[in-house]
């Protein structure tokens, strides 16, 4: 945390974007490992990210992604996943 108290206030935009993308993909991938996986949406990502739906949209904005891009990235990671049973 910086002296002003805002997390990531001194972090470059590229790093913020990468962090947001990583968190979105990890949360979506976690959803796909549920017994009955829900569709990847802001509503379903919000509990996985421990934030409101609005917070998820803000994170997607920071990542420079729409929900379709999040779905594609999550599916790409999940295709290579060896934990499926």
Give the pLDDT mean for 29-56: 92
52: in domain: yes
What pLDDT band is residue 5 in, cutting at 50, 70 and 90? Answer: low
Distance of CA 2 to the CA centre of its chain: 24
39: in domain: yes
Calculate the CA dihedral of residues 1, 17, 60, 29 and round it to 10 degrees. -90
6: in domain: no
84: in domain: no
User: Is it the case that residue 84 has pLDDT exceeding 60?
Assistant: no
Nearest residue to 21 via CA among 76, 80, 77, 62: 62
Give the pLDDT mean for 28-56: 92
Q: Which range marks the domain in which residue 29 is found?
A: 13-79
Provide the percentage of residues in the chain whose pLDDT is more than 70. 85
8: in domain: no
Output the pTM of the full model.
0.81
pLDDT at 80: 79
pLDDT at 78: 87
């Amino acid at each position: 945390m910086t002296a002003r108290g805002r997390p990531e206030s001194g972090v470059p935009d590229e790093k913020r974007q990468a962090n947001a993308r990583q968190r979105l993909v990890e949360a979506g991938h976690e959803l796909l490992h549920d017994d009955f996986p829900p569709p990847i949406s802001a509503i379903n990502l919000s509990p996985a990210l421990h934030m409101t739906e609005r917070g998820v949209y803000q994170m997607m904005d920071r990542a420079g992604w729409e929900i379709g891009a999040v779905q594609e990235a999550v599916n790409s990671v999940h295709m290579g996943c060896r934990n499926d049973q």
